[in-house]
């Protein structure tokens, strides 16, 4: 069991990261602190392997905490979380010998892989608490090869992946693409990972991302009882974003996105019909963009937003987030005034 300490003054961010890491099937013991002073008190009493910290906190901030840890606890690895992907900030963090940078505007499920990498753990075994779509994005990004046994509510199926692409699937009598689409629609799954698999004959030719889009469309139709009339495919994600409404700025989590709109988690009393400005960040493109939208539905967990129109450059950021197709680029940032 590895001890992980998460330090952040924002209770929403803290709760989200603690919940994500506690779900990882017995690998991690997760502790939390609201500031650097409280973190050091915990570290003095518990053997901690990794500290995950924000930067801006009262009493002892993240920068000071990293310096203290490097001096007094050099064996502790530190992951610095920010929603600022500026080259200057990344360079400053890079100069800290025990610290690495994690941009929380990316899908936070990738934090699990970052932690396991720092601990030299191959994250084979069991994973729960992540959506299957998010986990498969991670596998694709790393171009991994593995066999996944997927279980939920008494159902079990298998997915075989080679170099980040789905090549075979099986559930009951179904094989190939039909089996994959059924498995991809499952929720609240337990994922068993085996990297010592034998490569089988390819049964599926369609790209993994296309299958995820198709699965999402079929799930929408099933829930609504009618064909999905959306103009754009939605893609599930879990990314920290900012939004502005009535001259107030809030931080929330983006749960799905398409070229036509998005769904965000928020407890704010936002009404249908209100205008909202959603700020998206692509750390790989080093680009930010603000998109104007309108709230078109609300439920107990959040709001659905329909974009009023996006520019070509804004579409690039959305497509990066939606498809998980992270590529390096030297493109300059979009200003908040670059709206359509």
Answer whether residue 14 is part of any domain: yes
CATH at 268: 2.40.10.220
- The tokens of 103 are what? 């941009």
- 94, 167: one domain: no
- Does residue 337 form part of some domain? no
Is 335 among the domain residues? Answer: no
pTM: 0.42
- Residue 338 in any domain: the answer is no
How far is the C-alpha of 182 from the C-alpha of 155, rounded, in Å? Answer: 11
Among residues 178, 193, 224, which one ends one of the domains?
224
Q: Are 65 and 42 in contact (CB under 8 A)?
A: no
Same-domain pairing of 216 and 244: no
Query: Do residues 106 and 189 share a domain?
Result: no
Residue 49 lies in a domain: yes
Residue 288: the pLDDT is: 73
In a shared domain, residues 218 and 249: no
Give the three-class secondary structure for 301. Answer: coil
Q: Give pLDDT, residue 2.
A: 77
Do residues 39 and 61 share a domain? Answer: yes
Among candidate residues 224, 244, 260, the one where a domain is terminated: 224
Same domain, 6 and 114: yes
CA 160, 165, 167, 170 torsion-angle sign: positive
Query: Tell me, what CATH number does 79's domain have?
Result: 3.40.50.2300
pLDDT at site 208:
85
The list of the chain residues with pLDDT below 50 reads 25, 123, 325-340
Within 10 Å of residue 330's Cβ, how many Cβ atoms?
6
- Name which of 50, 102, 53, 101 is nearest 76 in CA terms: 50
Examine the fold and report which residue of 118, 144, 162 is the final residue of a domain before the chain moves on: 118
Question: Could you tell me if residue 330 is inside a domain?
Answer: no
pLDDT the model gives residue 43:
93
Q: What is the pLDDT of residue 18?
A: 76
> What digits encode the pLDDT tens for the residues 166-220?
999 999 888 999 999 999 988 888 888 876 556 667 889 888 878 887 777 676 6
Question: Do 213 and 152 fall into the same domain?
Answer: yes
Q: What is the CA radius of gyration of the chain?
A: 21
Contact 146, 168 (CB under 8 A): no
137/52 same-domain check: no
SS3 sequence of 56-103: CCCCCCHHHHHHHHHHHCCCCEEEEEECCCCHHHHHHHHCCCCEEEEE
For residue 151, what are its two tokens? Answer: 């279980």
Identify the pLDDT of residue 1: 66
Are 242 and 258 within one domain?
Answer: yes
* 309 and 249 part of one domain: yes
**250 and 241 in contact (C-beta within 8 Å)?**
no
Q: Is residue 40 part of a domain?
A: yes
Domain total in the chain: 3
My answer on whether 214 and 196 are in the same domain is yes
pLDDT value at residue 146: 83
Alpha-carbon span 333 to 84, nearest angstrom: 12
Containing structural domain, residue 218: 125-224
Residue 329, in any domain of the structure = no
Distance CA 102, CA 79 (A): 6
Measured between alpha carbons, how far is residue 296 from residues 7, 215, 255, 303, 304 in Å? 35, 24, 16, 8, 6
Residue 112 and residue 7 in one domain: yes
- Per-residue pLDDT tens over the stretch 274-311: 999 888 776 555 667 788 999 988 887 788 899 887 78
The SS3 of residue 139 is helix
C-alpha span between 112 and 137 (Å, rounded): 13
* Interior/surface letters 205-240, b for 16+ CB within 10 angstroms, e for the rest: eeebbebbbbbbbebbeeeeeeebeeeebbbbbbbb
């Amino acid at each position: 069991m590895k001890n992980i300490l998460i330090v952040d003054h924002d209770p929403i961010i803290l709760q989200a990261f603690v919940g994500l890491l506690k779900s990882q099937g017995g690998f991690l013991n997760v502790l939390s602190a609201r500031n650097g002073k409280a973190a050091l008190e915990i570290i003095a009493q518990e053997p901690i392997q990794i500290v995950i910290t924000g930067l801006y906190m009262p009493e002892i901030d993240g920068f000071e905490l990293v310096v203290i840890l490097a001096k007094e606890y050099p064996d502790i690895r530190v992951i610095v979380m920010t929603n600022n992907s500026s080259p200057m900030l990344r360079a400053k963090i890079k100069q800290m010998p025990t610290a690495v940078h994690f941009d929380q505007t990316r899908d936070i499920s990738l934090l699990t892989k970052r932690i396991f990498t720092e601990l030299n753990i191959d994250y084979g075994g069991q994973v729960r608490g992540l959506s299957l779509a998010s986990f498969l994005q991670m596998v694709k990004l790393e171009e991994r090869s593995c066999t996944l046994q997927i279980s939920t509510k008494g159902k079990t199926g298998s997915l075989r992946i080679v170099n980040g692409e789905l090549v075979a699937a099986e559930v009951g009598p179904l094989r190939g693409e039909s089996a994959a689409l059924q498995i991809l629609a499952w929720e609240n799954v337990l994922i068993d990972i085996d990297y010592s698999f034998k490569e089988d004959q390819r049964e599926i030719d369609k790209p993994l991302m296309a299958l995820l889009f198709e699965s999402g469309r079929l799930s929408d139709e099933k829930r609504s009882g009618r064909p999905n009339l959306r103009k754009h495919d939605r893609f599930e994600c879990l990314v920290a974003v900012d939004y502005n409404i009535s001259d107030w700025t809030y931080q929330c989590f983006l749960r799905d996105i398409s070229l036509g709109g998005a769904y965000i988690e928020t407890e704010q009393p936002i009404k249908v019909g209100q205008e909202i400005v959603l700020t998206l960040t692509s750390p790989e493109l080093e680009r930010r963009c603000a998109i104007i939208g309108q709230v078109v539905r609300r439920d107990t967990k959040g709001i659905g937003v329909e974009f009023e129109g996006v520019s070509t450059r804004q579409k690039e950021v959305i497509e990066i987030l939606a498809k998980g197709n992270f590529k390096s680029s030297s493109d300059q940032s979009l200003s908040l005034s670059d709206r359509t």
